[in-house]
Amino acid sequence: MTAPAMSALDAIYHRRATRAFTAAPVGDDAIGELLRAAIHAPTAMHAEPWLFAIVQDRALLARISDRTKAMLATPSGDDHHGLARHPESRLPAIFTAPGFDIFYGAGTLVAIGTRAPGGFAVADCWLAAQNLMLAATALGLATCPIGVAALALNDPAIKEAVGIPEDVTVVAPIIVGVAAGAPTPASRRAPVIVSWRRPRAP
């Protein structure tokens, strides 16, 4: 597929968490390109532990959204990310409002998971997710990490419905689509440098 010319820095600065999508589908070629970009992420000890599940069935997306909201409302031990039970969770009330779609109308979900235990595998999955999101930006597509969806995507009934093997833990759910309008830019605080040791003068 043809991608517009965009430097890595352009993609980094243009990527936005997008929360409004058109009905335009994401084609198989684009999905293929996104997954190729994802697997070129750095990977600890060359483990390449990432696995991908793609959901483009809107009824299933709605079921995952509803299940996530139900799980947020009733925290349980299946909350691998501590989202629902974290005392400092700042999830807005809208997340549990009836009719709210946690996927914001996006028609494609790429769930990145792993069978490997440990922090390195989790890091690898998120690095793959970031590659995927930057590649999507370069292809003119929009994305948003939907961390809360990991709740339902690690629920046995949802795993079975999606076709995710029982022993796979979903780490990074990412929605992909065509943005409806320009997302609001999110500001950033300046980098906090706690230390920068320079060579000492001889």
**Considering beta carbons, is residue 107 or 145 the nearer one to ligand FMN?**
145
Q: Give me the amino acid identity at 63.
A: R
Closest separation in Å from C-beta 14 to ligand FMN: 10
Q: Which parts of this chain interact with ligand FMN (CB under 6 A)?
A: 16-17, 19, 144-148, 186
Cα 119 off chain centre by? 17
**Considering beta carbons, is residue 186 or 193 the nearer one to ligand FMN?**
186
**Considering beta carbons, is residue 26 or 72 the nearer one to ligand FMN?**
72
Tokens coding 71: 């799980």
Report the C-alpha gap between 83 and 111 in whole angstroms: 17
Closest separation in Å from C-beta 19 to ligand FMN: 6
Does residue 158 sit in helix, strand or coil? Answer: helix
Does residue 88 sit in helix, strand or coil? Answer: coil
Closest separation in Å from C-beta 145 to ligand FMN: 4
Q: Which residue is nearest to ligand FMN (CB)?
A: 147
Contact (Cβ atoms closer than 8 angstroms) between residue 21 and residue 104: yes
Sign of the Cα pseudo-torsion (33, 39, 111, 144, in order): negative
Tokens coding 186: 């999110």
**Considering beta carbons, is residue 186 or 201 the nearer one to ligand FMN?**
186
**Considering beta carbons, is residue 144 or 164 the nearer one to ligand FMN?**
144
Closest separation in Å from C-beta 87 to ligand FMN: 18
- Cβ neighbours for 49, distance < 8 A, ≥ 6 positions apart: 43, 114, 115, 116, 120, 121, 124, 125
Closest separation in Å from C-beta 120 to ligand FMN: 17
